[in-house]
Structure 1
Amino acid sequence: MKKRLLFILIPLLLFYGLPSEAAEKEVRTWQDETIYYINIDRFNNNDFSIDQDVEANDPNKYHGGDFQGIIDRLDYIKDMGFTTISLSSIFDNEDDGYHGNWTKDFQAIEEHFGSLEKFKELVTEAHKKDMKVLVDFNANHVGPNHPWLKDAEKKDWFHPEQNTNLETSWVEGLPDLAQENPDVQNYLIDTAKYWIEETDIDGYRLENVEYVPVAFWQEFTSSLKQVKKDFYLLGDLRSENESIISKYEDAGMDVFFNYSINKELRAAFVQPDQPLSIDHSRPVAGFMDNNHMHRFTRDSIEINQHPGPRWRLALTYLYTTPGVPFVFYGSEIALDGGEEPDNLRQMDFRTDKELIEFITSIASVRQQLPSLRKGEMEVLYAKDGMTVYKREHNGEISVVAINNTTKSQSVTISSSELEDDKELRGLLNDDMVRSENGEYHIILDREEAEIYLLAEKTGLNIPFIVATAGVVVLFIGFLFLLKRKARK
């Protein structure tokens, strides 16, 4: 009976002796993802057997990047803390369509990147590493010389070239598909479903969202989520009109790029001492740059700012505010680049690793704290580049301080905004701020950021010590009983 009691008590005491931070793991949702976007052709060339028409010195030609090159760099991406890779279009493109915008065949793989089997291997290897895979899907248009244009039976698959309506106009002179045509709608939806069923991808980044009718997107999103319930749809919506954004939001997409927020972020972080005031009323994919614009690094270089600090502060904000961080390949090395195609320069894996290490750190903190991924946000202080805000989720409170100024800053937060008699534990720089007389005094050096967790003041954990001592005593008693029985 005594031995039976010991076997019961020991695991119970061990369980209750664990620190309170060992809470039950939350279910992973898309809010928990951190996305790394790759232009396949410009990332990594590791299968030279399929190189054809490759001219690495010509920004308008293929450079040789392929699926195998991405497979070989999955650990590099995962080690930085990214949980999802988002790929430029994998579909067969017309000549020199390295960017993926000149679709020739929606149902075939671009041969410059590899085979269908190799792409399946990429998805499988990513899934083994607990990473998701998104693919660009452009339902708006096809390449400039698509075979359908010469097919008389498909004349009604396109809108007339001269058209001023947003949803029927030819974007950048590319043939605009008539999604209101049932045949076109069925073809695009069936194709999108085919790639899910064939390759087990996890989502699409949808290009040119506002150029396609809402009715089509409603049918598209509904159909795809019947195939895979948690399939993720990221809309590249360039409009800044609130009524248009709301209209497409209701169509069933999970999250959007928000270009108005991007403008605010670029203006705020391109140099010190800039105000920061951004609305987070809807879920967004926060980004500093993407395949449609010049690099953020170019902004800082043009005004003689070092891009390293600019990127560190901007990324801290992206990783700690509501939404899904979306990082364009090369940002981790502050890759430079002007307008397209200069923004799609070749990735370089032999550069300085300082910014990579910083991204790894903030990604780790983001994954540790659910409040940074799912919590409500409240700004506690904002003035001329110094910003402090808190995130709260299920009782966990994190506080983020960003000093985007040219001098050290001191900010006092009262107990009316944070619980009294606790401490803020810095998770990036090991800073510690304890409450004093109902106030928290945060001090940050110039161009630095810190992420804090609000916690009980550090001291002896008496309940844990008592429980641990109890376990030791019971274990010694247990050994004594075994020894005694052995003698008998």
Structure 2
Amino acid sequence: MKKFFVTYILIPFLLFYAVPIEAAEKEQRKWKDETIYFLMVDRFNDGDTTNNFTVDVNDPEAYQGGDFQGIIDKLDYIKDMGFTAICLTPIFDNDKKGYHGYWIKDFYKTEEHFGSLDKFKELVKEAHKRNMKVILDFVANHVGLKSEWVNDPDKQDWFHDKKEIINWNNQKELENGWLNGLPDLAQENPEVKNYLIDAAKWWIKETDIDGYRLHAVNHAPVSFWADFAKEIKKEKQDFFLLGEIWSIEPTYIAQYEKAGIDGFVDYPLNGHLRTAFAKPDQSLERLFTVWETNKEAFENPYLLGTFMDNHDTVRFTRAAVNNNLHPGPRWKLALTYLYTTPGIPIVYYGSEIALDGGKDPDNRRIMDFRTDKELIDYISKIGELRDKHPSLTRGTMELLYEKKGMAVYKREYENETSVIAINNTKKSQKVTLTDKDIDADKELRGLLNGDVVQSENGEYNLIIDRDEAEIYFLTEKTGLNIPFLVILGGVIAAFILFLILARKKGRKTSS
């Protein structure tokens, strides 16, 4: 009885002080709101050992056993971290040792090491049940050396003459040269163009996938991509095309946006991200400069895919290791930036456990699910905030403060204002914001560490520990609600009186 009484008394206080941070009214999810988990099929999870006929876990350039069933088995794991989409390396039938998927033999068959077409359809259906989208890596530039087309006399005009790319600034060489020694397709040939477009459309109709990550976009003509995008967009409403172009020049990349490709892997930002967060006390200002440049170059910069690393780069963890630093804090700060700035975060599998790795193929190690969950829990938390608060995905961005790794920036969308503070320095930092930065006489309520900063004399004093970040939302000041307390006191008094009378009645009955 006593326990029940205490609980009853505490409930109103708990309700009173647990003031929620209301997100702006939720709109239909768009691609700019997604968070993508990018995985290499063969290196993620082995769910079906019956297709392990040439697996060799001791050879980093051989198949390791990952397959469609393994991904299905881990969809809840991915979703629980807050990811809303998965992106897979190519799944088509490949040459021997084509574990990565880029040596395609047949565009209409799945790689036998990964599973059947029906199993892949099951993967898409299971993802959709969880409200997750599926993106496939599509290769239109080349085929594998063992493709039947290479030695088919009727298809000799399907390829450019074998030539190495010497001058990487020469667009003609990029489009006609053999990338990494692989047979280069002549997309200007109508037969080749139609084959690639038909194959891409077939996968959409057959499996109901939601997007393509387009490999090596600038190695095929802009005119081809214009025709490709036009035809693909007819197959499924809101189908997403994400282009990969290894360039740091936004204006060069943007010409392919005009051809109909929706977004691009943000290589202009990536190098600066890796430099900024590899160690403390590095200026973050360049990150915001790149955003301003991207905003000018692209029609929709919110569809750029921001990332720290992928299957073609040394893993970001290696940068921390080389600097004799624990990778966990490095990853937390970097991911906080990715999740709270414009663009679609693309997180490479294993980042959630700070997986290490050098150059290819060392950056493609098999995933280890037996690990410490601290970083996973952090990703889950920032993923939840990103999903709930549209200012983090759709809002404007304004840098309020930056000094040698301490940055504070603001994002606004409709009636929601978020303020993000990242301390990438070796010391605790104090930053004072004024009414010129954000509205006065309110409070900033932090949802990562629970920090609450109220406006005092028109100023907000943010104090952030080293290697820490906080995501604040601007709310009305909380304080004592006198009318509520009066009513609450009356309720408590009435309840106490009820208990006294009930106890007296109980004594009389027992006597």
Q: Common fold, TM-score beyond 0.5?
A: yes
Matched, 1:399 2:419: yes
Q: Residues 109 and 464 of structure 1: is their aligned pair in 2 closer, same or farther, counting only changes over 3 Å?
A: farther
Matched, 1:351 2:371: yes
Matched, 1:170 2:170: no
Question: Following the alignment from structure 2 to structure 1, what is the Cα–Cα distance between the partners of residues 428 and 147?
Answer: 58
Contact 2:24-2:390 within 8 A present in 1 as well? no
Q: CA deviation at 1:331?
A: 0.2
Partner in structure 1 of residue 263 of structure 2: 255
Q: CA deviation at 1:162?
A: 1.8
User: Can you list the C-alpha shifts for 1:28-74, whole angstroms capped at 9, x where unaligned?
Assistant: 10011000011010110010111110001110100011100100000
Partner in structure 2 of residue 79 of structure 1: 80
Matches of residues 39-118 of structure 1 in structure 2 within 5 Å? 39-118=40-119
Q: CA deviation at 1:25?
A: 2.3
Aligned-CA RMSD value: 1.8
Question: Following the alignment from structure 1 to structure 2, what is the Cα–Cα distance between the partners of residues 270 and 463?
Answer: 53
Question: Following the alignment from structure 1 to structure 2, what is the Cα–Cα distance between the partners of residues 182 and 372?
Answer: 44
Q: CA deviation at 1:461?
A: 6.6
Question: Following the alignment from structure 2 to structure 1, what is the Cα–Cα distance between the partners of residues 426 and 100?
Answer: 39
Mark the runs of 5 or more structure 2 residues left unpaired by the alignment.
Answer: 1-18, 166-172, 296-300, 489-511
**Secondary structure of the corresponding residue to residue 320 of structure 2:** helix
Specify the code of the residue in structure 2 equivalent to 1:382: E
Partner in structure 2 of residue 297 of structure 1: 317
Partner in structure 2 of residue 339 of structure 1: 359
**Secondary structure of the corresponding residue to residue 177 of structure 1:** coil
Q: CA deviation at 1:300?
A: 0.9
Q: CA deviation at 1:357?
A: 0.3
**Secondary structure of the corresponding residue to residue 131 of structure 2:** coil
User: Can you list the C-alpha shifts for 1:185-243, whole angstroms capped at 9, x where unaligned?
Assistant: 00000000000000000001111011111111111111111111200111111112233
Mark the runs of 5 or more structure 1 residues left unpaired by the alignment.
Answer: 1-17, 469-488
User: Can you list the C-alpha shifts for 1:281-304, whole angstroms capped at 9, x where unaligned?
Assistant: 233211000111110001110121
Matched, 1:33 2:34: yes
User: Can you list the C-alpha shifts for 1:155-203, whole angstroms capped at 9, x where unaligned?
Assistant: 1101111265111111111111000110000000000000000000000
**Secondary structure of the corresponding residue to residue 405 of structure 1:** coil
Partner in structure 2 of residue 286 of structure 1: 306
Partner in structure 1 of residue 402 of structure 2: 382
Q: CA deviation at 1:463?
A: 10
Contact 2:23-2:416 within 8 A present in 1 as well? no
Partner in structure 1 of residue 146 of structure 2: 145
Q: Residues 200 and 461 of structure 1: is their aligned pair in 2 closer, same or farther, counting only changes over 3 Å?
A: farther
Q: Residues 419 and 163 of structure 1: is their aligned pair in 2 closer, same or farther, counting only changes over 3 Å?
A: same
Specify the code of the residue in structure 2 equivalent to 1:116: L
Specify the code of the residue in structure 2 equivalent to 1:103: I
Question: Following the alignment from structure 2 to structure 1, what is the Cα–Cα distance between the partners of residues 451 and 151?
Answer: 66
Question: Following the alignment from structure 1 to structure 2, what is the Cα–Cα distance between the partners of residues 464 and 153?
Answer: 84
Partner in structure 2 of residue 125 of structure 1: 126
Partner in structure 2 of residue 192 of structure 1: 200
Matched, 1:418 2:438: yes
Q: CA deviation at 1:26?
A: 0.7
**Secondary structure of the corresponding residue to residue 305 of structure 2:** strand
Q: Which moved more, 1:107-116 or 1:23-32?
A: 23-32
Q: Which moved more, 1:455-464 or 1:326-335?
A: 455-464
Question: Following the alignment from structure 1 to structure 2, what is the Cα–Cα distance between the partners of residues 121 and 464?
Answer: 54
Q: CA deviation at 1:458?
A: 1.1
Q: CA deviation at 1:24?
A: 3.8
Specify the code of the residue in structure 2 equivalent to 1:249: E
Question: Following the alignment from structure 1 to structure 2, what is the Cα–Cα distance between the partners of residues 223 and 459?
Answer: 58
Specify the code of the residue in structure 1 equivalent to 2:307: F
Question: Following the alignment from structure 2 to structure 1, what is the Cα–Cα distance between the partners of residues 133 and 279?
Answer: 34
Contact 1:83-1:132 within 8 A present in 2 as well? yes
Partner in structure 1 of residue 233 of structure 2: 225
**Secondary structure of the corresponding residue to residue 176 of structure 2:** coil
Q: Residues 285 and 464 of structure 1: is their aligned pair in 2 closer, same or farther, counting only changes over 3 Å?
A: farther
**Secondary structure of the corresponding residue to residue 234 of structure 2:** helix
Partner in structure 2 of residue 11 of structure 1: none
Specify the code of the residue in structure 2 equivalent to 1:189: I
Contact 1:84-1:133 within 8 A present in 2 as well? yes
Contact 2:445-2:475 within 8 A present in 1 as well? yes
Among 210, 213, 218, the residue aligned to 1:205? 213
Specify the code of the residue in structure 1 equivalent to 2:393: R
Question: Following the alignment from structure 1 to structure 2, what is the Cα–Cα distance between the partners of residues 400 and 150?
Answer: 57
Partner in structure 2 of residue 134 of structure 1: 135
**Secondary structure of the corresponding residue to residue 309 of structure 1:** helix
**Secondary structure of the corresponding residue to residue 233 of structure 2:** helix
Q: CA deviation at 1:254?
A: 1.6
**Secondary structure of the corresponding residue to residue 455 of structure 1:** strand
Contact 1:210-1:239 within 8 A present in 2 as well? no
Q: CA deviation at 1:251?
A: 1.4
Question: Following the alignment from structure 2 to structure 1, what is the Cα–Cα distance between the partners of residues 213 and 48?
Answer: 26
* TM-score, length basis structure 1: 0.90
Matched, 1:366 2:366: no
Contact 1:44-1:347 within 8 A present in 2 as well? yes
Q: Residues 154 and 464 of structure 1: is their aligned pair in 2 closer, same or farther, counting only changes over 3 Å?
A: farther
Q: CA deviation at 1:246?
A: 1.6
Question: Following the alignment from structure 2 to structure 1, what is the Cα–Cα distance between the partners of residues 338 and 356?
Answer: 20
Question: Following the alignment from structure 1 to structure 2, what is the Cα–Cα distance between the partners of residues 465 and 386?
Answer: 41
Among 206, 215, 228, the residue aligned to 2:223? 215
Question: Following the alignment from structure 1 to structure 2, what is the Cα–Cα distance between the partners of residues 467 and 159?
Answer: 82
Q: Residues 314 and 142 of structure 1: is their aligned pair in 2 closer, same or farther, counting only changes over 3 Å?
A: same
Specify the code of the residue in structure 2 equivalent to 1:195: W
Q: CA deviation at 1:466?
A: 12
Superposed structure 1 runs of 4+ greater than 4 Å apart = 460-468
